[in-house]
Chains A and B, each alone.
Chain A
């Protein structure tokens, strides 16, 4: 199927939105149906799969032992990578990460890192020398819009599901011993993405809405209702009023989401 959207459909979507409705019957600030499954990949230290409407994202976490960053010698390391695998969309091509997958990974990373979701201080084995490194790999399996929120949700679910290997210190050397402890998680940041269509904001745009939108705005909110990450994307713009309006709606939706998932 061509990824080009017809003008007729474009008009349809825009006209409905002007009336406060969407093609799939949702309200302007409604999410699609969300399903979260955890622990599906046994070989990973943690994993989760999120279905957001028909968008499907799988995240696996792996824990390794490595060196800390120079400016944070007592903290573990978090690294997020995203792959837009070709089977997820006819528009994804095989090859090294392009600007879209890099942006996706960095937005997810920002939400987790700035909210201090992981207690990185508890991941230190030997200060300055050995820490736990948490690899979060986002795998987009089907692209039907709003990869950001789906990926952020799946990443958080995978981290909540992640087990760190147990270790003991023997003569100054860290040795892995059997048993696990859960990854120390303190916060549950939720990313809420808006699309601007015909000057109106809609939450959780699906693929065709993304194809007609002017611009998108992602706002990540932590458990206290604080903003912890924002990214505007797309080649359009927002009025300052709209930005503040979106922040308010994002705080509400994030709270709803946390309640619904019992986090």
Chain B
């Protein structure tokens, strides 16, 4: 089937971009980047560039969609036409619709839905440039956007994928590794509660490989979690240091 003439891991055990199997791509996170959104965050992970914005809680329109005892969370994951190699039509694809759903379901457990009845919270994710693992980076940014908006939550949600390429379990797959590799396992986690809120897998893994992949992905999640918290605190710590 897939001609694996291209080796994804070289003799020194390094991947196509020079990383070790358990190494994350370079990550840069900034919180509060959009002035019109109630909360926002921007993330760069490898070549991924993703913007997330949160609005609400606010009154839901149309009104009949509101629930009497809780807030309604809506999420839209969308890729810009120029975000991928071949121009992608701006119309929502089936993949974007599925991802919008699983991303929403990965974030919902972190929010106290019953605090704000009859309201809605909207999350908008725009992928400006994609290079594999966009759903994970999107979740990481979306959760920060909600925190930036001052929406109370149980914990931040952070996500990272692990997978298998060339018989090795690796962390944070980029696009080529995802396309040609043997398996991809995206995981979203609420680290303090040790709760998995997103879990998908495609490919073929033995039960043992699957366990290793999930554990590796969770380790990656925890590393990115520290970056998330730093990004949230940075806005305020800066000012504090100036005064001291």
Contact = CB atoms under 8 A, between A and B. Distances in A.
B120 to A, nearest CB: 15
B207 interface: yes
B114 interface: no
A232 to B, nearest CB: 4
Interface string A114-129: 1110001100000000
B201 A248 contact: no
B206 A225 contact: yes
Given A237-B193, A239-B195, A243-B199, 9 more contacts: A97-B94, A103-B98, A105-B94, A114-B202, A114-B203, A115-B204, A222-B204, A228-B202, A236-B197
Q: Chain B contact residues: over half helix, strand or loop, or mixed? A: helix
Contacts of B94: 97, 102, 105-106
23 contacts: A97-B94, A102-B97, A103-B101, A106-B94, A106-B98, A113-B202, A115-B204, A217-B199, A222-B204, A228-B202, A230-B200, A230-B201, A231-B201, A232-B102, A232-B198, A234-B105, A235-B105, A236-B197, A239-B194, A240-B196, A243-B196, A244-B211, A244-B214
Contacts of A91: none
B164 to A, nearest CB: 11
Given A99-B98, A238-B195, A227 B105 contact: no
Contact of B200 (A75, A225, A232, A239): A232
Given A99-B98, A230-B201, A248 B207 contact: yes
Interface residues of B, number: 35
A201 to B, nearest CB: 13
A235 B195 CA distance: 12
Nearest to A187: B204
Contacts of A217: 199
B204 A102 contact: no
Nearest to A214: B109
Interface of B: 1, 94-95, 97-98, 100-102, 104-105, 108-109, 179, 185, 190, 193-207, 210-211, 214-215, 218
Contact of B196 (A225, A239, A251): A239
A244 B204 CA distance: 16
A57 interface: no
A225 B94 CA distance: 29
A110 interface: yes
B204 A114 contact: yes
Contact of B109 (A102, A110, A237): A237
Contacts of A222: 204
A198 B198 CA distance: 19
A251 B207 contact: yes
Interface in A35-59: none
Interface in A239-253: 239-240, 243-244, 247-248, 251
A155 B101 CA distance: 23
Given A102-B98, A247-B207, A251-B207, A237 B196 contact: yes
Nearest to A100: B101
Contacts of B179: 71
Nearest to B180: A71
A233 interface: yes
Contacts of B105: 215, 232-235
A240 B214 contact: yes
Give the 3 A-B residue pairs with the shortest CB-CB distance, closest first.
A230-B201, A235-B108, A237-B195
A247 B206 CA distance: 10
A232 B185 contact: no
A229 interface: yes
